[in-house]
Chains A and B, each alone.
Chain A
Amino acid sequence: MAEMWISMGPQHPMTHGLWTLKIKVDGETVVDTEPELGYIHRGVEKICESRDFTQITTYCDRLCYASANTWSHAYIYAAEDLLGVEVPERAEYIRLIAVELQRIASHLMWLGAYGPDIGNLSALVWCLREREMMMDLLQELGGSRMHYNFPRIGGVKRDLPTGFALRARHKVKLFLNRMQEYEALFDESTIFLIRSQGVGYTKAAEMINAGVSGPNIRAAGVNYDIRSAHPYSVYSELDWEPAVERSSIKGADCYDRYRIRMEEMRNSANLVLQALDKIPGGAETYHEPGDPKILAKAPSRAPEGTSGSHHFEDSRGESMFYIVGGGEGRGKKPYRVSIRSPMFITIPYAAKTMIGYKVADIPAIMGSFDPCIGETDR
């Protein structure tokens, strides 16, 4: 049969954003794919060169609307490396709480979008209901609903508000109970199982070579996690292990990638509960903004020749910032900011994993990698 190219996107429910997947089909079988990105390229790296170090945080929030907090934190750690700032321990705990709550919210957004992708429509409203609880908690910290601008170079914007710990514990525990409802909704749905099992196999070593990381690789039966392999923040002081999924012999399929994110949400919820118990000074103590317990003094200039980088475990894999100091205003602005987006590397790889499967499997495979186009195009 004649082969032909079909364009899926830029407006297509499979894309979860604005990009095009060009597929070459032979009948119903995919024989080749080619992703086209860049539809919402905003030039964040260029804009950062004319902003000073504190102003950049807000741009990093907007790299991914579903996971704003992890991105601004990824930037802040690199900026702290550049400026040589030591962060108070209490601030690190608050950051950990903020990042893990955001990770839950991001995974819930993914789950809510992935369900409808493959015929489980009621999942969307269920997941957004719980996501709203996480957003409320994050709003208490950051002040706004989606883009928090929460971390500061040297600490955090605000301490945990009074009563936050009580509400957070209550909501996280409620969420952990509701996880069982999701599992009933997904794991017992025949449509979901038929469409997600046995498609989109990926192997661990191959993924690492292709630059794929995060939940996608842990689904293939390895426990590589930036938080434990290249420890940062206070993760090493808490009692937890990265979630690992037992994949099949052929590798991780879409179902494994769904399972790993469920386990990661449990993990994150437990991390939040532990951090609230262990936070130095107690979760109910409140410090005014700017108190040295939550915000260390940081220089505003980075001299020429300095650079800072940091690998960070984002909700979708390993994100990274590399910042070179010595820009305008005698180093008040960075000379160059480079952003590593996990999905920019993962989308081309995911597109290649579809080869050999049917056209109807494409939404299931693509969705299972959790694409986010805001960070991809930057």
Chain B
Amino acid sequence: MRVVSEKTQSAAAEKMAKSLSKMDGVEASVNERVNGTQTRYIVTVDVDVENWRATAESLRNDHEVDYCSMITGIHWPESTEKTWEIVYHFLRTGVTDPAIEEGVVVPNIVDFSKVKGMNVPLELQISIILGDTRTPSVASVQDIWAGADWNEKETWDLVGIVFDGHEGMRRVLNPHESPAGFHPLQKQHKLRYHDHEEMYDDAQGFMRKPSDVGKVK
């Protein structure tokens, strides 16, 4: 099968990282990973929170990053450097609508061994770090990538990151009547048997009730 050569991938990734690093408050580098038998090149970007919106627009317009894969919120209550981290995963797919010739669609078959320029598929990982705040917030990119819409909803619902400018924010996985401020993936919420080695200490569960005191949420 024809795949993108490692040379093309690394060159495209280096080019994007170099171009991104020129922007204000953006640090980009290429992360080389070996997975199984394949080498991958991930463009790893650190962005200041106030520059995120401008960076996102540049990614979409200048670098043709067209696919928002996932948004992850991480709560670091015990870390000294950061309290919140938002990690975005993007892909550059290079997908365009197939051409129409004489009223018939011609499937857009890309030969991945020959792609160049903006068509080289790329992986991006973007991280935004927030300090100690009770209301972590970051600009929404819902209008740039429609795929970010439900990712942002989920990240607010589970982690409690507020996305400024997001329209139609609501609970998507938790029940709608969950109390305000309840975001289960924040670290102060523990699983019911958090300090319990269930499998080894108490396989039958006989001891659970008394030891629940102070542990059950």
The chain A residues found within 8 Å of chain B, CB to CB, are 37-38, 41, 43, 45-47, 50, 77, 80-81, 84, 86-87, 89, 92, 203-205, 208-213, 217, 220-224, 228-241, 244-249, 308-311, 318, 320, 322, 324, 335-336, 338, 340, 344-345, 348-349, 377-378
Contacts and interface: CB of A to CB of B under 8 A. Distances in A.
B95 A217 contact: yes
Contacts of B97: 203-205, 220-221
A70 B148 CA distance: 24
26 contacts: A87-B37, A204-B96, A205-B96, A209-B66, A209-B147, A210-B146, A220-B97, A222-B98, A223-B110, A228-B1, A232-B40, A235-B1, A238-B1, A239-B1, A240-B1, A241-B1, A246-B105, A246-B106, A309-B42, A310-B35, A311-B69, A311-B89, A318-B69, A318-B91, A322-B87, A377-B173
A310 B123 CA distance: 10
Q: Which 4 A-B pairs have the closest CB atoms?
A: A211-B147, A221-B98, A338-B72, A340-B70
Contacts of B104: 246, 249
Given A204-B95, A233-B36, 15 more contacts: A77-B35, A89-B37, A92-B36, A210-B147, A211-B146, A211-B150, A212-B147, A221-B106, A228-B3, A230-B40, A230-B91, A232-B35, A244-B109, A311-B69, A336-B185
A69 B95 CA distance: 28
B36 A77 contact: yes
B175 A38 contact: yes
B3 A236 contact: yes
Interface in B37-69: 37-38, 40, 42, 66-69
Interface residues of B, number: 60
Contacts of B154: 344
B38 A232 contact: yes
Given A229-B4, A318-B69, A209 B38 contact: no
Interface string B145-184: 1111111001000100000000000011111000000001
Given A77-B35, A345-B150, A221 B105 contact: yes
Given A77-B36, A221-B108, A239-B1, A320 B70 contact: yes
B147 A224 contact: no
A246 B173 contact: no
Interface string B72-107: 101000000000000101010111111010011111
A46 B67 contact: no
B93 A224 contact: yes
A336 B74 contact: yes
B125 A309 contact: yes
A229 B98 contact: no
Contacts of A336: 72, 74, 185
B123 A87 contact: no
Contacts, number: 179
Given A45-B185, A221-B108, A208 B67 contact: yes
Nearest to B175: A38
A87 to B, nearest CB: 4
B121 A41 contact: no
A212 B68 CA distance: 10
A299 B145 CA distance: 38
A214 to B, nearest CB: 12
B33 interface: yes
Contact of B173 (A86, A208, A348, A378): A378
B209 interface: no
A150 to B, nearest CB: 16
B35 A80 contact: yes
B191 interface: yes
A81 B191 contact: no
A245 B66 CA distance: 22
Nearest to A47: B191
B83 to A, nearest CB: 14
A309 B98 contact: no
Interface string B178-197: 00000011000101001000
Interface in B124-138: 125
A308 B89 CA distance: 12
A37 B107 contact: no
